[in-house]
Amino acid sequence: MNSQSKKMELLGSASIPKALLAMGSPTMIGMLVNAFYNLVDAYFVGGLGESQMGAISVVYPLGQVVVGLGLLFGNGAASYISRLLGRGDKENADKVASTALYSSVSVGAIIIIISMVFLHPILKLLGATDSILPYAATYAGIYIVSCIFNVFNVTMNNIVTSEGAAKTTMCALLIGAVLNIALDPLFIYVFDLRIAGAAIATAISQVVSTCVYLTYILRKKSVFHFKIKDCTYTKEIMSAIFKIGIPTLVFQILTSVSISLINNAAGDYGDSAIAGMGIVTRLISMGSLSVFGFIKGFQPIAGYSYGAKKFDRLREAIKTSIVWSTVFCVIFGLVLALFPAAIVSQFTKGDTEMIRIGAASLRANGISIMLFGFYTVYSSLFLALGKGREGFILGACRQGICFIPVILLLPMLWGLNGILYAQPIADVLSAVITVFMALPLHQKLNEMQKQTAAISTNTKN
């Protein structure tokens, strides 16, 4: 059996635990290491001072918006590709993959140019104080330009995972992350480039990850060919991509908006507050990105099973994914909730105010992230099944529909505590909404399964 046949077998007929481990584990490991390098980045920058730490916290949401373009085309295409492969429509899947890749890079380049032209106003909007702004501008001037490689990487991440080649994604993420971890102290301290060195290290690691994906394409390991002539901007293809991609992009934008709102609210309490909340964001991202990585493996299995009308297989994949992701979130959350001060103190030279603020927020977030696996499985499931509206609503809950009203209102009523507990409250509300959206979905899947069984019976007769 060749590699492409093995990928299809994994998506369509392998046992669910085996398929989830094969598809989800590599991406989860890759994203876990990727999140870890973000922490290491913060650790080394933290040694430069609280203003420098605040600078990377301010730039972070801008980078997330740019990368969101890769998710717009990549995640939107991946969902459609999985369903097309489930139906056996390889030709159209090839067109979708090419269209997504070249479109994301082109649009990403335009957004990066606009961001650089208006960099200072954007950074102030994101919460940069007068003391943070010079460092943020230096870091962003290098980091944002390099995001063009990250847009390519994120798009390929989704497309490659959709065809069952999760190990390639893991290799790309691992190599880039490990290289970044190694280069950070070299450029920041040995070459004395300070915060610019952190940005250069990240840029180099992104280029190397891009080379991994290019090698995968050029060696013809992919199911797809990625030819410019295959780019097809028909209404059917673009609507399928945007139906799933736009909710994903909106989710990414809302994530950036939520971080910006936290930075602006924390700015009233000084650079230490911004730095402390920035550390919490990166720590929580380490857990959330790990879950997202695992769910990346679940999504193509769900999409393929749905496209092939294998409803028992789909139901088993949902149940197993919820259990596994929740167990991980509970363990991860307990570590954060039990040792918050000890963890936050690793990212400062001894700023007691930063430790106090960060530890209080980390404790609360550690408890609420235990619900994250359940929420993420369903927000991703709707998108995998092509249900863009439901996926949009649920995906927008945690950092938009539930979070924005809370972060705008609670600090006025509760001061600093309103900032610290805004995300945990939004997490609980999002989990409750998930329950009410999941029940009708399962009823619909049961009805579809009965209809499919009836049609099959009539055909045999």
Report the alpha-carbon distance of residue 161 to residue 168 in Å, rounded: 8
**pLDDT of the residue at 219:** 87
368's CB contacts (< 8 A; 6+ apart) are: 333, 423, 424, 425, 427, 428
Report the alpha-carbon distance of residue 49 to residue 204 in Å, rounded: 24
**pLDDT of the residue at 7:** 64
305-309 CB contacts, 8 Å cutoff, 24+ apart: 305/12, 305/86, 306/83, 306/86, 306/384, 306/385, 306/386, 307/82, 307/83, 307/84, 307/85, 307/86, 307/87, 308/12, 308/86, 308/87, 309/448, 309/452
On whether the CB atoms of residues 240 and 103 are closer than 8 A, the answer is no
Report the alpha-carbon distance of residue 143 to residue 140 in Å, rounded: 5
Instruction: Using alpha carbons only, give the angle 78, 83, 86 rounded to the nearest 5 degrees.
Output: 125
The predicted model scores a pTM of 0.80
**pLDDT of the residue at 42:** 86
**pLDDT of the residue at 461:** 59
Report the alpha-carbon distance of residue 214 to residue 210 in Å, rounded: 6
| DSSP result, 8-19 | HHHHHTS-HHHH
**pLDDT of the residue at 70:** 82
| DSSP result, 60-76 | HHHHHHHHHHHHHHHHH
Of residues 429, 420, 426, the one with CA closest to residue 404: 426
* Crossing angle (nearest 10°) for helices 166-185 and 194-218: 150
| DSSP result, 73-95 | HHHHHHHHHHHHHHHT-HHHHHH
- Count the Cβ atoms, other than its own, within 10 Å of residue 266: 26
**pLDDT of the residue at 211:** 95
Q: What is the pLDDT along the chain (461 residues), one digit of tens a residue?
A: 555 666 677 777 788 998 898 888 877 877 777 677 778 888 899 889 889 988 998 998 888 888 888 888 988 888 788 788 878 888 888 899 999 999 999 999 999 999 999 999 999 999 898 999 999 999 999 999 999 999 999 899 888 877 877 788 888 888 988 899 899 999 999 999 999 999 999 999 999 999 999 999 888 888 888 888 889 999 999 998 998 788 878 878 888 889 899 989 998 898 899 989 989 998 998 899 889 889 988 988 998 899 888 999 999 999 999 999 999 999 999 999 999 999 999 988 888 999 999 999 999 999 999 999 999 999 999 988 988 889 889 989 999 999 999 999 999 999 999 999 999 999 999 999 999 999 999 999 999 988 888 877 776 65
**pLDDT of the residue at 6:** 65
